[in-house]
Every structure is written in structure tokens, then in C-alpha cells.
Structure 1
């Protein structure tokens, strides 16, 4: 509802400005006509134009009350102003006439209708001004100054007053009013954005706290059982919850509330898993090669973090049994496409069982990896030619896809 209201408000502002311009210019034109007859003693053309202009212009406003077409009224006003200004300029000295500056004002009136009409209108006005100049240069008889010599200075004064009053009282006040409205709207929008950012940070903070509470509950539940299988399941679920909590924590701490820097997130996640799952106390080195400029949205970061959690967890739990030293590599690169990436996760451990198949996964971890890859609009493969375990995930930043669709 807000957008149509703003459009309606803009149309009302344009309408009020154009109607005000018509009323004031008509009144001043009529007074200028009286001054031309009784003060300046001008007998030909100019007084007639000054008297005809307000009659036609007010009739134009009256017709607008019936048809309600702002464009029609603006076009009629623009043509009438152009013809009137042209005639007065031609018969008051041509290019040397002080009234020629009124052309600048009527160009502003042309832009009231639409920017397209204003662009066309300014070209027409420029063409007329150049034509007036050429008529004077080639001494065409059409250029006739009907203003008496003794009234030229006074005519110049009236012309300047006419221009300045229209510029200041009509356009100047309106531009100032529009500026104040824009500044007020800008301030209100900035305030709302700030309030929403604070609210969003609070949401991320609360979600993170809630997830940590869930993690603590899972930890407490695991302590109430002596079954190692149940404890392992609880521990796996707890780690998955922590993966999601870390994303919300980073969004809460980061300036950008919609994206997180992915490299620090992976470093924090990997170090946490290494500390919590390296029960064999194996000397495992982490090599994380992710460009620092890569930032991902929450809809991409969470499933990707869960996938990294599953692969690194598998490596730590099963990849280094009986070994005293090992290495885990996590490497990510951006493809040429705007939102396409490739993630490589590998270790130099003992590898995986031959019956572990990503096409028909048996374990929960492999099923999650396959499902998360699908969620990221990508696919994951295992490299059977390398020592240890290596996953290659091709995926897309689904947050950017949603923005393009929107």
C-alpha cells in the first residue's frame, strides 16, 4: 500500500505545482499586459499576447478539472508558454530581448509532466532560441521591436521581475519543499533501517542463544546414558546445532547482517571439531585455503557449514585411527559464474570403506552430505584416486539466486 501512496503523492505534488504555475503566471501576465498598455505604451502584439495567455491558460486549468489528465494540461501549458514567450521575445528585440530568459522557466514547467517530455521540450526551446538568433543575424524583417525607446529599460525591469518572481515563488519554494520532504523521508528511512538492524541483531543473538541451549540439553542427555552409540548420536546432533549457532553468532557480530565472511567461520568450526573430536590425540594439521573476500548468506552458509561438519567429523572419527599424524585440507574457489563455487575437503587418512557409496549412502553422515549438496543446487563426488578421503562439492550461492528472482 505504501508504494501506490507515494506515487499518488508525487502526482499530487506535480499537479499542485503546475496548477500554481498556471494561476500565478496568468495573473502576472495579465498585470504585465496592463503595464504594457498604460505604462510602457506598447501598442502591437505584446499586450495582446499578455492578455490572451491568461485566458487560454485558465481555460486549460478548467478543462483539467474535467478530464484530470496531468500530461494533457502540462503539454497545453508548455506549448502556450512557448508560443507566448517566442512572440514576446521576437517583438521586443529578439536575441537581445530581456524576456528571452523566460525560456529557461518554461523548460522547468515542461519537466513537470514527465522527464521524457522535458527532454524533448528543452531541445525545442533551444532550437527556437537559435532560430531567434539567426533571424537577427540575417536581419529578417520579422524581428521588430515594438517596445518604445523610452520604455525599454522599464520593460527590461518588468521582464526580470516577471522571471525572478516565477522562479522564486513557484519553482524555488516547491524545490525547497521537495528537498525538505526528501530529507525527512531519508531520515525516517534511515531510522527504520537502524531499528530493523538492531532488531535483526537481537534475533540472531537470541537464535544463537536458543541453539546453544539446545546443545547444552543434548549434552546433558548424553551424560544420562551409558550407551556409547546413543552418546555418539547425541554428540553428532550437538555439533550440528553448534554449526548453526556459529552462523547466527557471526551474523550478530558482523557489520553485514545478511552475509558472513566464510573463511573465519570455517576456521572457527574446524578448530572446534578438532578440539572436541580428536580423541586419539593425533597430531592433525588444518590447512584452510578460502579467499577472504568470499561472503555467503545464511541460506548458503548453514547447509555448507553442516556439510563441512559431516566431512571433517568423519575424517576425525574414522580417518586417522592408528595414526599419529594427519592433515585435513579445506579449499574453496570461485568459478567464473557470479554465484558458483567449488569446495574441496580432503584428508590423508586411511580412506573409507569400499561399500560407502554416495549414490546409495548407508550412514547418516553420507546421507546428510548428499542432501545438503542438493539443497545447495550442486553435487558432491568422492575422488577414489587419492590417498585418504577427498570430497569435491560444486554448488551455488542460493541467496543470490533468491535476490535475482525477487
Structure 2
């Protein structure tokens, strides 16, 4: 209890209030998406709305977690990532039983990195669920975040044991940035980092980005 109170005091009251207000507003927007999706019959439109709702939920989770446990240094990645993974799994319910592990230790994400990093994690998890595990009975996703290292970079690793059927477009990356997968686009242009995707027994994403903010 004392530790929680200390952390809340470390985040300026005005800033904490802003995070709470933004989180509440984003939850309302997410609810409006839910109402609209119940009225839409076109499957492609539903997919787009669902993805937008997922990103809205991620923003709400980040701001809500910043309000509850954030400090002047940022937000604890372990709790934040656990909430994001749970939200994405509830949004994309499939017939596959998926075990997810999150290992961020005591890593703290700077506030400036929290939302874009949350977007990247949500997009990768979504791709794992819908692509790597398409048509399989069970699977596993392991998530870890370490940093900052001596060069002040963070390393996010997401690995699944599914089938690597999701193909990335690599040609003309600079000119065709908008057509890049959402995760790659955010890493490159928002986090100013790098992302690699390796196929072996499943797919492993490695995202590296510098400290900002």
C-alpha cells in the first residue's frame, strides 16, 4: 500500500488526472466501436473497425496504467504488457488455445515510448493469433522486454511456435512506408528503432528502440 502511494505521488497530480481523463474518454470511444460493429454486416469493414478498436483499447490501457502505477520515469512494462495481451486475446477469440508468457522483470518504459510500444506489441500479438495459429489447436507466445542497455536501447522479443505464413513486404521500404505492416511502420517512424522477423520453429520478432522522452 505504501509503495503504491509513493508511486502515485511521484506522478504529478495534474498529469495523473490527464491520464485518467484520456483513459476514460478512450474507453467511451471503444464502446462506440462496439456499438457500430454490431450494426455492420460487411466482414472487411468489421475487421477494420476491430483493429481500430484494438488500438484504441491499447491507448486506454496505457493511460489507465500510467494513472494507476506510473511514475515520473514512466510505466512498469510487466503490468502494462499483461493487460495489452489480455485485451488483444479477448478481442480476437479463436478456436486456438494459446499460452502467453510475459517477462519484463522490473523494466520501466518511458511515457513517450509506452503508447507506440503498446501498439507494436498488440499488432504482433494480433498477427500471431490470426496468422501463425490459423487452424491449429494450441500454441504459445513468449514476450520479453529488457532495457535500457548500455547504449540506452530497449529490446522487445515476441516469439510464437506457430506456422510462419505471414509474409512481409520488404521492397521499397522508404517509398512504401504506409503499406508496411503496422508494427514495422510504428517502430521505424515513431520509435526510431529497428524490427526483424525470423522464421524457424515459429516466428520471432525482435524490436529494438532507443530511450526517448
The alignment status of 1:345 with 2:166, answered yes or no, reads no
1:286 is matched with 100
* TM-score, scaled to structure 1: 0.46
Partner of 2:120: 307
Conserved 8 A contact 1:352-1:388: no
Q: Structure 1 pair 287/381, CA: closer, same or farther in 2 (3 Å)? A: same
Residue aligned with 1:303, SS:
helix
Structure 2 residue 42 is the aligned partner of structure 1 residue 230? no
Q: Does 1:333 align with 2:146?
A: yes
Quick one: structure 1 residues 237 and 338, their matched pair in 2 at CA, closer, same or farther if it must change by over 3 Å?
same
Quick one: structure 1 residues 360 and 315, their matched pair in 2 at CA, closer, same or farther if it must change by over 3 Å?
farther
Which one has the bigger strand percentage? 2
2-structure distance, mates of 1:234, 1:365: 18
Question: How many angstroms does 1:259 deviate by?
Answer: 1.0
> 1:263 deviation in Å?
0.9
Mapped to 1, the partners of 2:39 and 2:178 lie a distance apart of 23
Alignment of 1:244-393 (within 5 A): 244-254=59-69, 256-257=71-72, 259-280=74-95, 282-292=96-106, 294-334=107-147, 336-337=149-150, 339-354=152-167, 356-359=168-171, 366-374=180-188, 375-384=190-199, 386-393=200-207
Of 19, 29, 37, the residue aligned with 1:214 is 29
Unaligned runs of 5+ in 2: 1-8
Q: Larger Cα Rg: Structure 1 or Structure 2?
A: 1
Q: Which has the higher contact order (CA 8 A, sep 6+)?
A: 2
Supply the RMSD in Å over aligned alpha carbons.
2.3
User: Could you tell me whether the CA contact under 8 Å between 2:57 and 2:87 is conserved in 1?
Assistant: no
The answer to whether the Cα contact below 8 Å between 1:319 and 1:350 also exists between their aligned partners in 2 is: yes
Give the deviation of 1:300 after TM superposition. Answer: 0.4
- Local SS of the residue matching 2:165: coil
Quote the offset at 1:352 in angstroms: 2.3
Q: Distance in 2 between matches of 1:231 and 1:363?
A: 24
CA contact (8 A) 2:131 2:166 kept: no
Query: How many Å separate the matches in 2 of 1:245 and 1:365?
Result: 26
Please state if 1:205 is matched with 2:17.
no
Uncovered stretches (5+) of structure 1, i.e. residues with no partner: 1-193, 400-406
Displacement of 1:366 in angstroms is 4.6
Change (3 A) 1:359 1:312: farther
In the alignment, what sits opposite 2:3?
Answer: none
